[in-house]
Amino acid sequence: MKELLVQRGFALLRNTGVIDAESFSSTIAELGIATAVHYGDLPDEGWPGVFRTTQYPPSESIFFHSEASHMARAPRLIAFGCIQPALAGGATPLSDNFLALSTLRPEISRALQSEGLCYERAFIPGLDVLWQNFFRTDDRAKAMERGIAEGLTLQWDNDDVLCTVSRRPATLSRANGQSCLFQQIALHHPVFLDPDLRTEMADICGGRMPRNVTLGSGAPLPDSWAIAIHDSQCRAAFTFSWESGDVLIVDNVRTSHARAPFVGPRHHIVMVSPLSANLSESEINI
Ligand SMILES: [Fe+2]
C-alpha cells in the first residue's frame, strides 16, 4: 500500500469488511496508520478519531482541495470509509497535485509559488458556521488563542463579526525538487458561487464575503485564474465508483480530493493522520 501511495498518491482497498466507525478504526490501525483524535469542525461519528464527512447539500459539488491547506497544520494521510454509497453519483474524484501545477500557465504557477495565498473568513451568523462551533468554545479569548495557535490573524469587525486571515503557501516543494499544488482556492473563491448568490452575498455583506481568497500580497486572485487552476485539477483527475466496504487512503500532499453531487442517502466516514506543520518534509509513515 505504501508503494501505491508513493507512486499514485492514493490506494483503494475493496471488501475490507468495514461496516461502521469501530471496524473502520480497527482497519486503519491494522494498516499501521496513526490518526488524530480531533480534527476541525467535522461531526463526530461516535468513535474516537472517526468523523462524518463534510455535510454539504447533495445537489452541490465540493470542489478539489487539499485537506486543511488553509491552516498551519494539515494531515499527510486521509482515510475514507464507505459505509453506504449513494444511489447515484457521490464519487470522490482525486487529482494529481504535481500534474495540475505543471499544466498551469507559467504566470499563474509563478505567482502561486512566489506569493502563496491569503484565505479570508468572516464568521457572519447565518452565512457560515458559527465561530463558536469552528473554535469549539463560546469564549472569545479562547477562540483568539486557538486561532493564533493555528497561524490565523484574527480581528473583531465593527459589527462584532470575527474575521480571520490565514496566509499560506499555495504549493509545496518536495525534497526531490518537484513542486505540487497545495491549496483550496475553489472552497474560498467567490467565482465558484452561483452568480446570483455571489451578487446577493456581496450586497448583504457589504463586499466582505464569508469566505474569500487573495494572492499572498493581498492582490485579488482573478476569477479567470481561479477557474484555470480548477480546470487544471479537473484535467489531472481520476474517479471511481464507491462500493460498501471500500477504504480509500489519500496522500494529502500528492492528491487533492473532491465530492461529486449525489442522490439518495450516502454514508462515508473519515480519519486523518496527526496534523503536521511541515508537510514539505514529511514522509508517509506506515
Ligand atoms: Fe476534504
Residue 25 and residue 82 in one domain: yes
Residue 109 and residue 217 in one domain: yes
C-alpha–C-alpha distance, residues 25 and 268, integer Å: 13
Residue 148 and residue 175 in one domain: yes
Report the domain count for the chain: 2
210-226 burial, b at 16+ Cβ within 10 Å, e below that, comes to: bbbbbbbeeeebeeebb
Asked if the structure places residue 283 within a domain, the reply is no
Residue 217 and residue 112 in one domain: yes
CA of 257 to the centre of ligand 1 (A): 6
Asked if the structure places residue 253 within a domain, the reply is yes
Residue 9 and residue 85 in one domain: yes
Residue pair 70/216 in contact by the 8 Å Cβ criterion: no
Residue pair 53/259 in contact by the 8 Å Cβ criterion: yes
CA of 66 to the centre of ligand 1 (A): 7
CA of 111 to the centre of ligand 1 (A): 25
What is residue 220's DSSP assignment? B
Residue 112 and residue 85 in one domain: no
Report the SS3 class of residue 152.
strand
Task: Supply the CATH number for residue 268's domain.
Answer: 3.60.130.10
CA of 144 to the centre of ligand 1 (A): 24
Maximum distance among all Cα pairs of the chain, rounded to whole angstroms: 54
Residue 28 domain boundaries: 2-93+239-278
One pLDDT digit (tens) per residue for the chain, 286 residues: 999 999 999 999 999 999 999 999 999 999 999 999 988 768 889 999 999 998 899 999 999 999 999 999 999 999 999 999 999 999 999 999 999 999 999 999 999 999 999 999 999 888 888 899 888 899 999 999 999 998 999 999 877 889 999 999 999 998 788 999 999 999 999 999 999 989 888 888 877 789 999 999 999 999 999 999 999 999 999 999 999 999 999 999 999 999 999 999 999 999 999 999 999 888 888 8
pLDDT digits (tens, 9 = 90+) for 183-239: 999 999 999 999 998 988 888 887 778 999 999 999 999 999 999 999 999 999 999
